[in-house]
Structure 1
């Protein structure tokens, strides 16, 4: 088993997460926070740390449809889950 030489990267991620999830944005769900962190890291790795020059691909636009961003749940299934003994 190998251990990391430092925990600086972990601390950076926690700091970044604290900047994203503030008192005024405390209702963000985990997947939103995770996606925001991943986007930030991706921009940092593949660019100069700024997103001004970023051009999304057609595939990215296709994935940003309302069905993917806001999936509909069946209320009957939700009620069954809540009322299950």
Structure 2
């Protein structure tokens, strides 16, 4: 019988900043597609919390806000 416990211990954990970036990135993609107000509010809250917990830099936070602002004013074409 194979011992699988050794394989489990060799997995590396991603740093919190990478996890946060992936989560916010996924939410940003969904917002770009759907443009629902609740998605925007969730993104803003996640970014604010991540910055407060020091897992998202102020620079990345500011870049996200600029992108969200651009998306808010961008007209969505429904061809």
Taking structure 2 as the reference length, the TM-score comes to 0.31
Taking structure 1 as the reference length, the TM-score comes to 0.30
- Name which structure has the greater RCO, CA cutoff 8 Å, separation 6+: 2
* Structure number with larger C-alpha Rg: 1
Give the structure with the higher percent helix: 2
